[in-house]
């Protein structure tokens, strides 16, 4: 059995091996953890290839587990309605278990897959949930994922690369102050707390598309856009686009690259990934409606919205 390991934490490695031994026929076993509430899950231990592409079906399983905060068991990927519309399979059966803290907030998850159907049973689910509690204890201990030692702030500041980075930041800040002072009264976009809300709305919309959750994605559209772009039409266009394997991969790899504010609206920018067929810049325009950010226009992809 080949076991990969990101973390130097021996306790975490021991639990990872225990999970792999409990499910010896699983082709992939991975432990994910969230560094901060605002950060996505990151793989910290695995049996198999570290950072392996989990596919659109894996994204749906993991995304559903994160969204609902409960275990997701896929006994037969060909028949499970959760994976409807996903043509290419990366597994035949799968099990995803949330790792929760004392307040029932998700701080990580276990993700297991197999090339065999019905590899994971209800009994196996209970066993995995027990192991998830062991992982939770380790994560709540505050033990460093990448080792047992904590970097000294003084040591970090003495690092030449860090000093160079700090100097670069200072230079950029001075340049910004100079440009602002020479602006001649021109309006300069200032990032506020609204930027976090707009960014999260754009990311949530992208997550729904990756998971094939087109109904909740449609709910994030502006009411005026919903009037000209019905849920049925929206769903049909998205299902047609995501039915192609190359588009599924593009959607998984496409990340929010930046956010621009223009005249009260936010523009979420997604640059090309370099994958075959991905040459367009996606731009989603969002507007704040009743304290919630909603999409009012999609330009570039994955499909273009109707004009208002």
Site of tokens 């996903």: 86
pLDDT confidence of residue 297:
95
* CA–CA separation, 254 and 40 (whole Å): 15
User: What pLDDT does 39 receive?
Assistant: 57
Token representation of residue 261: 């504010």
Q: Which pTM was predicted?
A: 0.51
Write out the chain's pLDDT in tens, 308 residues: 234 445 557 888 899 999 999 999 999 999 998 765 545 678 888 887 776 768 889 989 998 999 889 999 999 999 999 998 888 889 999 999 999 988 888 999 999 999 999 999 988 999 999 999 999 998 887 543 443 333 333 333 334 444 444 555 455 455 554 544 444 443 333 344 467 888 889 988 988 888 888 998 999 999 999 999 999 999 999 999 988 888 888 888 888 888 888 888 999 999 888 888 888 899 999 999 988 999 999 998 899 999 88
Among 25, 96, 27, CA closest to 60: 96
Residue-wise pLDDT for 233-268, tens only, equals 999 999 999 888 888 888 888 888 888 888 889 999
CA proximity to 84, closest of 57, 111, 118: 57
Whose structure tokens read 């399983």? 61
Q: Which domains does the chain have, with CATH numbers?
A: 4-140 (3.30.450.40), 194-299 (3.10.450.50)
Residue 242 DSSP class: H
Contacts 24+ apart (CB under 8 A), 121-130: 122/73, 124/22, 124/23, 124/95, 125/71, 125/73, 125/95, 125/97, 127/22, 128/19, 128/22, 128/23, 128/71, 128/95, 128/97, 129/71, 129/97
Query: What is the structure's pLDDT at 242?
Result: 86
Q: Give me 140's structure tokens.
A: 């709540």
- With a CB cutoff of 8 Å and minimum separation 6, the contacts of 129 are 71, 97
Contacts of 300 (CB under 8 A, 6+ apart): 270, 280, 281, 282, 283
Q: Which residues of 209-235 are buried (b: 16+ CB within 10 A; e: fewer)?
A: bbbbbbeebbebbbeebbeebeeeebe
Coil, strand or helix at 238: helix
- What's the pLDDT at 4? 44
C-alpha to C-alpha distance for 151 and 159, rounded to whole angstroms: 12
Residues contacting 138, CB < 8 A, separation 6+: 9, 11, 12, 15
Tell me how far apart the alpha carbons of residues 30 and 146 are, in angstroms, rounded to a whole number.
16
The SS3 call for residue 148 is: coil
Q: What is residue 243's predicted lDDT score, i.e. its pLDDT? A: 85
Q: Residue 60 and residue 66: Cα distance in Å, rounded? A: 10
Strand, helix or coil for residue 193: coil
Strand bridging mode 106-114 / 93-100: antiparallel
pLDDT at position 247 is 86
Residue spans of alpha helices (H) in 101-260? 122-140, 153-157, 160-181, 194-211, 214-219, 223-228, 231-242, 245-253
């Amino acid at each position: 059995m080949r076991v990969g390991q990101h973390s130097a934490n021996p306790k975490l490695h021991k639990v990872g091996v225990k999970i792999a031994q409990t499910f010896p026929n699983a082709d992939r076993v991975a432990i994910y953890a969230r560094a901060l509430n605002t950060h996505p899950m990151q793989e910290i231990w695995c049996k198999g290839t570290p950072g392996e592409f989990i596919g659109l079906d894996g994204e749906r399983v993991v995304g559903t587990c994160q969204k609902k905060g409960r275990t997701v068991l896929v006994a037969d990927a060909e028949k499970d309605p959760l994976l409807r519309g996903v043509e290419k399979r990366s597994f035949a059966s799968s099990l995803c278990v949330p790792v929760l803290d004392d307040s029932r907030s998700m701080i990580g998850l276990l993700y297991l897959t197999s090339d065999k159907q019905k590899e994971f049973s209800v009994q196996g689910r209970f066993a995995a949930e027990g192991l998830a509690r062991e992982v939770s204890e380790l994560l709540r201990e505050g033990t460093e994922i990448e080792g047992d030692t904590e970097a000294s702030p003084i040591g970090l500041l003495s690092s030449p690369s860090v000093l160079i980075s700090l100097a670069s930041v200072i230079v950029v800040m001075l340049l910004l102050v100079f440009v602002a002072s020479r602006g001649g009264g021109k309006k300069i976009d200032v990032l506020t707390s609204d930027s976090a809300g707009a960014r999260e709305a754009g990311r949530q919309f992208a997550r729904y598309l990756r998971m094939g959750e087109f109904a909740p994605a449609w709910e994030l559209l502006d009411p005026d856009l919903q009037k000209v772009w019905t849920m049925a039409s929206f769903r049909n266009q998205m299902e047609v686009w995501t039915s192609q394997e190359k588009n599924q991969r593009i959607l998984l790899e496409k990340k929010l690259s930046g956010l621009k504010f223009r005249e009260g609206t936010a523009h979420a920018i997604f640059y090309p990934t370099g994958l075959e067929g991905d040459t367009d810049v996606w731009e989603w325009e969002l507007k704040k409606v009743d304290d919630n950010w909603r999409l009012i226009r999609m330009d570039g992809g994955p499909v273009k919205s109707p004009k208002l």
